[in-house]
Chains A and B, each alone.
Chain A
Amino acid sequence: MSSSQLIKKFDTDFTNEVIEYGSKFFEDVENVRSCIQCATCTGSCPSGRETAWRVRKLIRQVQLGLKNAAIKNDVIWDCTTCFSCQERCPRLIPVTDVVRTVRNIAVRNGIMLPRHVQVAGLLIKYGHAVPINDETKAVRKEIGLSELPPTVHSFPDALGEVKKLLDGTGFTKLIEEASKGVQK
């Protein structure tokens, strides 16, 4: 990609989207505009030491409005949300909250990692992100507990209610579409 092409992709809409959407959940998201790329964030990042995740670059992409570059890059899921960057940012940018906001926008655009789609599928089906298996059942029995915990596993009606909630919020549909993408 030549640099002139890149500049054409600059789009303040995405910057505004991150600030507006993020501000529904977090404080001071608009501070993202004053980032000067000092890199205290990446320097603090325990994930970045092991992976290709550069939180500073995400902030840059948000500032420049590079939406696709930001949300389509799998590395945004490598953040462990430890908040070290947010804790130390000299410009008081809620860095981790910006990461979480961008992830939310990615998901709303149907962009998820296959393993997340998988886990979400389990939640929809069983009401548990990690449903019980035979092994756990055996252990529970061995230590004197009921085979199934007192959750939706024991109350099928309640599972129905969970499903209703997930349908109502549009979660089920989102995951269905995403899983089509994963299959592709």
Chain B
Amino acid sequence: MSDNKRGRIGVFVCHCGHNIAGVVDVQAVIDEISKLPDVYCVDHVYMCSKSGLNLIKEKVAEEKLDKVVIAACTPKLHEKLFQKTLEEAGLNRYLLSQANIREQCSWVHKANPRKATLKAIDLTKMAVAKARLLQEQGKVEVPVEKAVLVVGGGVAGITAALNLADLGHKVYLVEREPSIGGHMAMLDKVFPTRDCSICILGPLMVEVGRHPNIELITYAEVTKASGWIGNFEVEITKHPRFIKEDECTGCGVCAEFCPVEVPSEFDQNLGTRKAVYLPFPQAVPLVYTIDPEHCIGCRACEAVCEREAVDLSQKEEKIKVKVGAILIATGYETFNPAEKRNLGYGVFKNVVTALELERMLSPSGPTMGEVVRPSDGVTPKRIVFVQCVGSRDESVGRTYCSRVCCTYAVKQALELKERIPGAEVYIFYQDMRTFGKGFEELYREALRERVRFVRGLVSKVVEDGKTRNLIVRAEDTLLGVPVEAEADLVVLSVGMVPSKGTERLLFVLNVPVSEEGFVMEAHPKLRPVETQIPGIFVAGCAQGPKDIQDSVAQANAAASKISALLSRGVVELEPYVPIVDGEVCIRCGLCVAACDKDVLKLDKERGVEVKGVGCVGCGACAGACPTGAIQISLLSDEMIRAQIDAVLEEKKEYPLVVGFLCNWCAYNAADMAGVAKIQYPTNMRAIWVPCTGRVNPLLILEALEKGADGVLVLGCYPQDCHYRTGFDKAKRRVESLRELLRVAGIDPRRVRIESMAASEGKKLAVVVKEFVEELKKLPVLGGELVRVAEARR
């Protein structure tokens, strides 16, 4: 180690108040790290505070530091902030290396401060070892495409699109349905003000339709996407609506003559529509659509259309757009209550969902605003609301609260009280969560209006076969008495679930989702509208259940974030460039085959060459190279090796596990385990990798040879891989390596590859725990290595 040449490294250890220092003995870390010859080490209570950042800047100057190591929280939180601080201190931002001693250490090893401290020392030593090899990197700036794609035309998408368009940005708004409007267009009144939903949404929809900066693409889906922040290429598939959008005036004569009547999706199948239809009167665009599934091809519509707008020869259309940013605003679906069989939905006619009731309440709905029993069309006099249907219910895999059902039930109860004189309304609940501004007041009003609230969830709904009335069973827990209520109509307050459209889109865009299927934010508190993919944003219920107020607020926040990106005009990309050492390259071409981005070219004379831009920094090339000739700048073999050495020069655990954690899933899963304080054994030392495809099997062997008792390679589920095929490559390599190990006489159980989602902190903890348990049962690795060496002789 030529320290003088490499200069001095400043190590800054953060207490994070008690978050780190409450478990890790920070002084012990400093004492140990200070023993390193080329290091200056100091601590601070909050390194991210102004005084902490100033400390870094001061010490860089005073101590003539060339590189900086920060041992604190996950780099996912403050890396950018610390990079900026380095720049302010006159250092290149890429001369920063971080040790994650909070999420990966103090938060998950609370019961074992001694071992946690030893681990923190190791993690910091690893960061120092990596720092020694860091080199300055130039800025890579690319221009930003001055356009944005908004997917989903509900209130969130509409709000964001208008906001962005008003700021002068080109907006492509893609909507799956024939009209924009989303769920909000279906609602009669909205809480807490009880104003008419379509009256406040309608004007915005119209504005979207005629805004010069908005290109509205309805009846269409995003089917392909590629590129990165600032430069996405997206393919939109527009379904044929068999009506020329430019010609149709929305007069509706076609529908008058259409002989086919089918249930209307917009009216929750309570009413009907024709095979050529407008989903609702205020639709934007005001263009009819022929539903090919039900059209019988009689061409009556064609005959009566004066504008000759009907075009049965229309084909599916692929539209390609280039955008700088993408906003996901794909909303939600309501929970299908048929999954809760005890509630009788789909079996008893007079059990309806709240959305069905909402359509009945709407003056333009299937009953023109009359609330009736579906069985006989009679006005119900006693109505029972069942709360938490598909919310807070583990038996149907929905653990979360949907946040709107309490208040919408209160609102609907008040509507019923007002519209049906003498109506009795009961709400069976477990907790009333009327938390928003003006919500509690609405709840109070409902109590005043004699809506009866019963604390106890409904356990069963049975039907009286003769009257079609319903018997609702529950316990009034505040009285401690089982109760039964006979109702004319039962309304199920269904929760929100991720829409199927969201699911598909997220797959296309490769955006990580939470366990429940909602889009995961870059940070749940500080970066709520950014996804984990730079340049892709989220707003509205695609991110999680929320009411209209919150959707609109989030849409505005996303618009402002996107506008900032587009207005800046350029975006800085990570400096991803593969570097090839022509001397070492044996011209095998494995890296060229491993590269999905077609960045590499094999020249028999000169070796492998890098052609043009487009490298995304996954490192699959370096993972495939048998000689270490090709490297990626952010994480070279040497940097990985230095980290392994730093851990194994003095082994502090048995069994000791070296972990390779993928940037997109496993590393985040470890952070999630930290945030959720899920405890697991201290034995793993994690090395960050951009993708498991980066992990060269030779490095795994090296770790074992140098004394690691086991190696974990933790990445994404194959279908979630940020680079599409990275995990598959890693899996194949690890499987082959295990086979080799077996043949060589080393227990293959020492190397394991696992998939997990970014949200699966629990799984990470379980995998580490099980792996450590398994390693404990194996004899020590030394014996195996000796036998291998003897066999070689």
B-contacting residues of A (Cβ < 8 Å)?
36-45, 48-49, 54, 56-57, 84, 88-92
Q: Given A36-B430, A88-B342, is A42 in contact with B456 using a C-beta cutoff of 8 Å?
A: yes
**B706 adjacent to chain A (CB < 8 Å):** no
B394 touches A48 (CB 8 A): no
By a CB distance below 8 angstroms, the chain A residues around B393 are 90
By a CB distance below 8 angstroms, the chain A residues around B395 are 88-90, 92
B475 touches A90 (CB 8 A): no
- Chain A at the B interface: SS class: loop
A43 touches B394 (CB 8 A): no
Chain B, residues 424-463, CB within 8 Å of chain A (1/0): the string is 0000001100000000000000000000000111111000
By a CB distance below 8 angstroms, the chain A residues around B474 are 39, 43
Q: Please give me the residue from chain A that is nearest to B387 by CB atom.
A: A38
A48 touches B482 (CB 8 A): yes
Q: Please give me the residue from chain B that is nearest to A44 by CB atom.
A: B459
Q: Please give me the residue from chain B that is nearest to A31 by CB atom.
A: B394
Q: Given A36-B430, A91-B394, is A54 in contact with B480 using a C-beta cutoff of 8 Å?
A: yes
13 A-B residue pairings within 8 Å (CB atoms): A36-B431, A38-B388, A39-B455, A39-B457, A42-B482, A43-B457, A43-B458, A43-B482, A44-B342, A48-B475, A56-B477, A88-B395, A90-B393
Q: How far is the CA of A20 from the CA of B430 in the complex (A)?
A: 29
**B392 adjacent to chain A (CB < 8 Å):** yes
A38 touches B482 (CB 8 A): no
By a CB distance below 8 angstroms, the chain B residues around A41 are 459
A43 touches B475 (CB 8 A): yes
Nearest-Cβ distance from residue B451 to partner chain A, whole angstroms? 20
Q: How far is the CA of A43 from the CA of B43 in the complex (A)?
A: 58
Q: Given A36-B430, A45-B482, is A90 in contact with B477 using a C-beta cutoff of 8 Å?
A: no
Counting chain A CB atoms within 10 Å of each CB, the highest count among B473, B475, B480 belongs to B475
Please list the 5 inter-chain residue pairs (A to B) with the smallest Cβ-Cβ separation, ordered nearest first: A43-B459, A42-B475, A39-B456, A44-B459, A90-B393
Q: Given A88-B459, A89-B395, A92-B395, is A39 in contact with B342 using a C-beta cutoff of 8 Å?
A: no
Chain B, residues 42-63, CB within 8 Å of chain A (1/0): the string is 0000000000000000000000
Nearest-Cβ distance from residue B717 to partner chain A, whole angstroms? 25
A44 touches B456 (CB 8 A): no
Nearest-Cβ distance from residue B345 to partner chain A, whole angstroms? 15
Q: How far is the CA of A41 from the CA of B480 in the complex (A)?
A: 12
* Given contact pairs A38-B457, A39-B430, A41-B459, a sample of 8 additional A-B residue pairs in the complex whose CB atoms are under 8 Å apart: A37-B430, A39-B457, A43-B474, A44-B459, A56-B475, A90-B394, A91-B394, A92-B394
Q: How far is the CA of A54 from the CA of B474 in the complex (A)?
A: 12
Q: Given A39-B474, A92-B394, is A44 in contact with B480 using a C-beta cutoff of 8 Å?
A: no
Counting chain A CB atoms within 10 Å of each CB, the highest count among B394, B455, B459 belongs to B459
Nearest-Cβ distance from residue A12 to partner chain B, whole angstroms? 18
By a CB distance below 8 angstroms, the chain A residues around B394 are 90-92
Nearest-Cβ distance from residue B387 to partner chain A, whole angstroms? 9
Q: Please give me the residue from chain B that is nearest to A34 by CB atom.
A: B394
Q: How far is the CA of A42 from the CA of B394 in the complex (A)?
A: 18
A38 touches B430 (CB 8 A): yes
Of A37, A49, A89, A91, the residue contacting B477 (CB under 8 A) is: A37
Nearest-Cβ distance from residue B432 to partner chain A, whole angstroms? 13
Q: Given A43-B473, A43-B474, A43-B475, is A90 in contact with B392 using a C-beta cutoff of 8 Å?
A: yes
In the complex, which residues 289-330 of chain B have their Cβ closer than 8 Å to any Cβ of chain A? Answer: none
By a CB distance below 8 angstroms, the chain A residues around B455 are 39
By a CB distance below 8 angstroms, the chain B residues around A37 are 430, 477
Nearest-Cβ distance from residue B766 to partner chain A, whole angstroms? 16
By a CB distance below 8 angstroms, the chain B residues around A42 are 456, 459, 475, 477, 482
Q: Please give me the residue from chain B that is nearest to A60 by CB atom.
A: B477
Chain B, residues 386-426, CB within 8 Å of chain A (1/0): the string is 00100011110000000000000000000000000000000
B482 touches A40 (CB 8 A): no
A44 touches B430 (CB 8 A): no
A49 touches B388 (CB 8 A): no
Q: How far is the CA of A49 from the CA of B482 in the complex (A)?
A: 6
By a CB distance below 8 angstroms, the chain B residues around A45 are 482
Q: Please give me the residue from chain B that is nearest to A93 by CB atom.
A: B394
By a CB distance below 8 angstroms, the chain B residues around A91 are 394
Nearest-Cβ distance from residue A31 to partner chain B, whole angstroms? 8
In the complex, which residues 337-355 of chain B have their Cβ closer than 8 Å to any Cβ of chain A? Answer: 342
Q: How far is the CA of A76 from the CA of B726 in the complex (A)?
A: 58
Q: Please give me the residue from chain B that is nearest to A51 by CB atom.
A: B482
Q: How far is the CA of A170 from the CA of B378 in the complex (A)?
A: 66
Chain B, residues 474-510, CB within 8 Å of chain A (1/0): the string is 1101001010000000000000000000000000000
Q: How far is the CA of A100 from the CA of B342 in the complex (A)?
A: 24
By a CB distance below 8 angstroms, the chain B residues around A56 are 475, 477
Q: How far is the CA of A57 from the CA of B342 in the complex (A)?
A: 22
Nearest-Cβ distance from residue A30 to partner chain B, whole angstroms? 13
Nearest-Cβ distance from residue B495 to partner chain A, whole angstroms? 12
Q: How far is the CA of A132 from the CA of B243 in the complex (A)?
A: 85
By a CB distance below 8 angstroms, the chain A residues around B473 are 43-44
By a CB distance below 8 angstroms, the chain A residues around B477 are 37, 39, 42, 56
Q: Please give me the residue from chain A that is nearest to B456 by CB atom.
A: A39
Q: How far is the CA of A44 from the CA of B461 in the complex (A)?
A: 10
Q: Please give me the residue from chain A that is nearest to B454 by CB atom.
A: A39
Nearest-Cβ distance from residue B186 to partner chain A, whole angstroms? 27
Nearest-Cβ distance from residue B427 to partner chain A, whole angstroms? 14
Q: How far is the CA of A129 from the CA of B77 in the complex (A)?
A: 68
B460 touches A57 (CB 8 A): no
A43 touches B460 (CB 8 A): yes
Of A40, A48, A54, the residue contacting B457 (CB under 8 A) is: A40
Chain B, residues 183-197, CB within 8 Å of chain A (1/0): the string is 000000000000000
Nearest-Cβ distance from residue B437 to partner chain A, whole angstroms? 26
Q: How far is the CA of A90 from the CA of B399 in the complex (A)?
A: 9
In the complex, which residues 661-695 of chain B have their Cβ closer than 8 Å to any Cβ of chain A? Answer: none
Q: Please give me the residue from chain A that is nearest to B455 by CB atom.
A: A39
By a CB distance below 8 angstroms, the chain B residues around A89 are 395
Q: Please give me the residue from chain B that is nearest to A92 by CB atom.
A: B394
By a CB distance below 8 angstroms, the chain A residues around B457 are 38-40, 43, 90
Q: How far is the CA of A91 from the CA of B482 in the complex (A)?
A: 20
Nearest-Cβ distance from residue A60 to partner chain B, whole angstroms? 10
Counting chain B CB atoms within 10 Å of each CB, the highest count among A37, A40, A45 belongs to A40
Q: How far is the CA of A44 from the CA of B458 in the complex (A)?
A: 8
B456 touches A38 (CB 8 A): yes
Counting chain A CB atoms within 10 Å of each CB, the highest count among B431, B457, B460 belongs to B457
Nearest-Cβ distance from residue A41 to partner chain B, whole angstroms? 8
Nearest-Cβ distance from residue A7 to partner chain B, whole angstroms? 20
By a CB distance below 8 angstroms, the chain A residues around B460 are 43-44, 88
By a CB distance below 8 angstroms, the chain B residues around A36 are 392, 430-431
Nearest-Cβ distance from residue A140 to partner chain B, whole angstroms? 43
Counting chain B CB atoms within 10 Å of each CB, the highest count among A42, A44, A84 belongs to A42
Nearest-Cβ distance from residue B461 to partner chain A, whole angstroms? 11
Counting chain B CB atoms within 10 Å of each CB, the highest count among A41, A49, A84, A90 belongs to A90
Q: Given A43-B474, A44-B473, is A90 in contact with B388 using a C-beta cutoff of 8 Å?
A: yes
Of A39, A88, A92, the residue contacting B475 (CB under 8 A) is: A39
Q: Please give me the residue from chain A that is nearest to B395 by CB atom.
A: A90
By a CB distance below 8 angstroms, the chain A residues around B458 are 40, 43
Q: How far is the CA of A84 from the CA of B341 in the complex (A)?
A: 13
Q: How far is the CA of A49 from the CA of B474 in the complex (A)?
A: 10
By a CB distance below 8 angstroms, the chain B residues around A54 are 475, 480
Nearest-Cβ distance from residue A8 to partner chain B, whole angstroms? 23
Q: Please give me the residue from chain B that is nearest to A52 by CB atom.
A: B480
A43 touches B456 (CB 8 A): yes
Q: How far is the CA of A121 from the CA of B442 in the complex (A)?
A: 62
Q: How far is the CA of A54 from the CA of B482 in the complex (A)?
A: 9
B480 touches A40 (CB 8 A): no
Q: How far is the CA of A42 from the CA of B460 in the complex (A)?
A: 11
By a CB distance below 8 angstroms, the chain A residues around B480 are 54, 57
By a CB distance below 8 angstroms, the chain B residues around A39 are 430, 455-457, 459, 474-475, 477
By a CB distance below 8 angstroms, the chain B residues around A90 are 388, 392-395, 457
Q: Please give me the residue from chain A that is nearest to B431 by CB atom.
A: A36
Q: How far is the CA of A56 from the CA of B477 in the complex (A)?
A: 9
